[in-house]
Structure 1
């Protein structure tokens, strides 16, 4: 997995962001990570468009155990792809574990929905995170 940063958060765009390009399992993959006041936006594409759009957020739990729960919903796109939902879940869990309460909008336009591809994408996003 080769990583090439194309821009830096301080290049003048008013929203803090990072843009990277890398090769994932033979497919050129572009990733843009943006931090807004109320959420993170992570766009991943190997096909030149957004693909499936998911929304993920941490639910505040009540009670004595205070176990966090996460709500993942598919806004547009493939609803029968559990690995895409798992990808969003892993990212929102990581965001939450780092202390942020912001929600996540994730777009996945990927050719290959295999666990290995999604694992490499998650690793690249976490390595370049803005949270």
Structure 2
């Protein structure tokens, strides 16, 4: 589904970038895996847009609950929160447990646009890549610094 894909592997921060046509607009999707969270950028506008942090929590009944906090941008946009919650649930279905920092800048928030964005994210299985990146990062932490520097051609 991705029209273009870019991967930066020999880095301390694993990053993947994809480009899609959604509603006729070029839509860039970029994710970066850090040690304590995942950053996911979805932009049609070339800007950061609304920044939301999603954390998975358990409620009293033991069911999953997603705490969504808007850090920057539009606070009253239900479409953005819908995408964040759906993507968080998708990540959780792959046993991805870290918080996700979203940066979403879409031209419109129509249901058809939201469905296309979610479909694009689901098709590229970024959660499997993110989980693999996290495991690789943990393995790199156990190596001598000299080897790490050689791997990154610093």
TM-score by length of 1: 0.88
Q: What CA distance in whole angstroms lies between the structure 1 residues aligned with 2:120 and 2:33? A: 16
Q: Which residue, 50, 56, 59 being the options, matches 1:58?
A: 56
Deviation of 1:14 after TM superposition, in Å, equals 2.4
Gaps of 5+ in 2: 132-154
- Alignment partner of 1:18 is 2:12: no
Name whichever structure is richer in helix by fraction: 2
Equivalent-residue separation in structure 1 for 2:12 and 2:114 (angstroms): 29
- Greater C-alpha Rg: 2
Q: For residue 109 of structure 1, what is the aligned residue in structure 2?
A: 105
Deviations 1:82-123 (A, max 9, x none): 010011001111111211210101111110111111121122
Alignment size in residue pairs? 127
Query: How far did residue 30 of structure 1 move?
Result: 0.7
- Moved segments of 4+, more than 4 Å: none
* Separation of aligned partners in 2, 1:96 and 1:82: 21
Structure 2 residue 81 is the aligned partner of structure 1 residue 74:
no
Q: Which runs of 5+ in 1 are unaligned?
A: none
Kindly report the root-mean-square deviation, in angstroms, between the aligned alpha carbons of the 2 structures: 1.5
2:137 maps to: none
State the shift of 1:9 in Å: 4.2
2:119 aligns with: 123
Greater fraction of residues in strand: 1
Q: Which residue of 1 aligns with 2:93?
A: 97
